[in-house]
Homo-oligomer: A and B are copies of this chain.
Amino acid sequence: MKNIAVGIDIGGTNTVMGVVTEDAKILAEASISTQQYVELADYISALATNIKTLLSKAEGYNLKGIGIGAPNGNFYTGTIEKAPNLPWKGVVRLSDELKRHFDCKIVVTNDAKAATIGEMVYGGAKGMKNFVMITLGTGLGSGVVVNGSLVYGSDGFAGEFGHVTAVENGRMCGCGRKGCLETYASATGIKRTAFELLARYNDASKMRDIPFSELTSKDIYTFATQGDKLALKAFDFTADILGRKLADLCTVLSPEAVFIFGGLANAKELIIDATKNYMEKYMMPVYKGKVKVLPSALLGTNIAVLGASALVM
């Protein structure tokens, strides 16, 4: 009997899950809103129902387990702890809660770490011993691989590069602090930048006709490709700040490559190439020209679901 695993990617906005085969094929997928479930019990119940429906579409396979990537997901304890972008506060015993519904192995990790494992196993980081993965979504997630192993740190929470301070006393972050990198370099961050630019400059821009709650990073990209000056400036500012902080990160880790995943990574010249240029500009001479900045080789796939499933395969 062929093996399958369930991979679940819990994001600040949506939770996406899939049933994945040993050769990385997604047999069935589903998605629920994360935001709408203010009560954890309701969320767990919706999650379990959806997983059972998915598994019913994959009969004749042997279920190896459920792998979950979640913000602040702890590999060591199977919990989510104090996740700034999720509705549930404190420590969520995710693995224990799901075990009431499923009699199988359940592994939890950070959503970005799951993506990192995905990139390492199926993507562009195959064979690399030292690399960094950056996911630009609602927030900025990251995974760090050193000497061929994912860095969990002493408590399982290493790799929160989105929460290094990019600007002192800068924008309010969901984590309760100010100026975190993800308040600038993420889908939400670039929107905040766009609104700052609309306020500061007088240039005409299609962005002036869209309210904050409706503008997306994809809109900003579309306008930028049409020559919208402020949309272009928003991308430039984002690449500058991300490149600057990556230069710092390379100074500590000296990775072979930085992979960028997420909707924003589709803006190749405006994000990938621009970030690389700024990173080189700010970098200490000894590292210049050594570190690749690449779009994830798995753009367009659900890398987090694949990576999460790989945790239990």
For A248, the chain B residues whose CB sits under 8 A away are 164-165, 248
Q: Contact: A290 with B165, CB < 8 Å?
A: no
Q: Report the bound CA distance from A291 to B286 in whole Å.
A: 30
Q: Is A211 an interface residue (CB 8 A)?
A: no
CB interface residues, A 143-177, toward B, < 8 Å = 144, 146-147, 149, 151-161, 163-165, 175-177
Q: Which residues of B contact A177 (CB under 8 A)?
A: 282, 284
Our pick among B82, B153, B255 for the contact of A253 (Cβ within 8 Å) is B153
User: Whole-angstrom distance between the alpha carbons of A82 and B287 in the complex?
Assistant: 10
Contact pick for A149, options B147, B175, B255, CB 8 Å: B147
Which residues from chain B contact A287 at a C-beta distance below 8 Å? Answer: 155, 157
**Assuming A153-B130, A286-B157, is B164 touching A251 (CB within 8 A)?**
yes
Cross-chain contact A253 with B151 (CB below 8 angstroms) = yes
Please report the C-alpha to C-alpha distance between residue A249 and residue B248 in the assembled complex, in whole angstroms. 10
CA distance A147 to B149 in the complex (A): 8
Q: Are B252 and A165 neighbours in the complex by a CB distance under 8 Å?
A: no
A127 adjacent to chain B (CB < 8 Å):
no
**Interface presence of A129 (CB below 8 A):** yes
B158-A82 in contact (CB<8A): no
- A81 in the interface (beta carbon within 8 A): yes
For residue A254, CB closer than 8 A to chain B, the reply is: yes
Between A161, A165, A176, A286, the greatest number of chain B beta carbons within 10 A of the residue's beta carbon is seen for A286
**A244 contact set on B, CB distance < 8 A:** 165
A286 B251 Cβ-Cβ under 8 A: no
For A228, the chain B residues whose CB sits under 8 A away are none
Partner of A254, one of B81, B154, B247, B290: B154
* Interfacial chain B residues near A81, Cβ < 8 Å: 286
Is residue A72 within 8 Å, beta carbon to beta carbon, of the partner chain? yes
Query: Taking the complex as formed, is A256 at the interface, i.e. its CB lies under 8 A from any CB of chain B?
Result: yes
Contact B286 A160 (CB under 8 A): yes
Q: Which residues of B contact A300 (CB under 8 A)?
A: none
B residues near A249, Cβ cutoff 8 Å: 252
Distance in angstroms from A240 CB to nearest chain B CB is: 11
Which of B72, B159, B254, B256 makes the CB contact (< 8 A) with A252? B159
Tell me whether B175 and A252 are in contact (CB under 8 A). no
Q: Shortest beta-carbon distance, A311 to chain B, in Å?
A: 18
Complex interface residues of chain A between 213 and 263 (CB less than 8 A to chain B):
244, 247-249, 251-256
